[in-house]
Amino acid sequence: MRTPCMRGDPSSGIARIVLRIARSNAVLRAALRKYDWQFGPGGVAHVVNTFAELGRTDLGQLNGPVLALVGSSEDDEALHQATTVIDAVRPRHPQSELHTFDPGSGADSHCQIGNLPLALDVIFDWLQRIRIQPTNPSRDPDPFAHGSG
């Protein structure tokens, strides 16, 4: 008995095509099994179906500054998508920023996996620069300010 690559029944046409290809491609089959496990109880089918239901994001509806992180070793599409988002949001939120990591940083891979501490430094520095305020003004922005220490 063959182990299925994906739990559930993806309604997405793209997912069905990928499953057909996976029948004859062992590497794709293994990747799908890994992602199916990684994405939790609903597996890949649930994630794909959810994305299909959500549709495209209307960038004009984004209501806040955006920080996009891209590694220079990622494919051109990652930089294209990040640039598209930043260019759409920056006129309304000038604090929006695109940060590109070069190979010397070690954070140039997807998700900055080679130097996550550097990526986190960039994120927290940006948040501090733009002075993100808590959504509930009655809440203390620094929960440790009044603690013992």
Give the mean model confidence (pLDDT) for residues 65-83.
96
How many CB atoms within 10 Å of residue 55? 7
The pTM (predicted TM-score) of the whole model is 0.63
The pLDDT value recorded for residue 11 is 67
What pLDDT, on the 0 to 100 scale, is given for residue 133?
Answer: 57
**Considering only CA atoms, which of 19, 10, 8, 82 is closest in space to residue 51?**
10
Contact 68, 82 (CB under 8 A): yes
Residue 115 CA to residue 127 CA, distance in Å, equals: 19
Measured over the CA atoms of residue 85, residue 89, residue 90 and residue 96, the dihedral's sign is negative
139 torsion bin: left (phi>0), alpha (psi -120 to 50), beta (else)? beta
Alpha-carbon distance of 87 to 13, in angstroms, equals 31
Averaged pLDDT for residues 84-113: 95
- Tell me which of 24 and 87 has the higher pLDDT: 87
pLDDT at 91: 95
| pLDDT reading at 149 higher than 80 | no
Instruction: Pick 87 or 143 by higher pLDDT.
Output: 87
Question: With contact defined as beta carbons under 8 Å apart, do 74 and 105 qualify?
Answer: no
Exposure b/e, 88-125, CB count within 10 A at least 16 = b: bbeeeeebbbbbbbeeebbbbeeebebbeeebeebeee
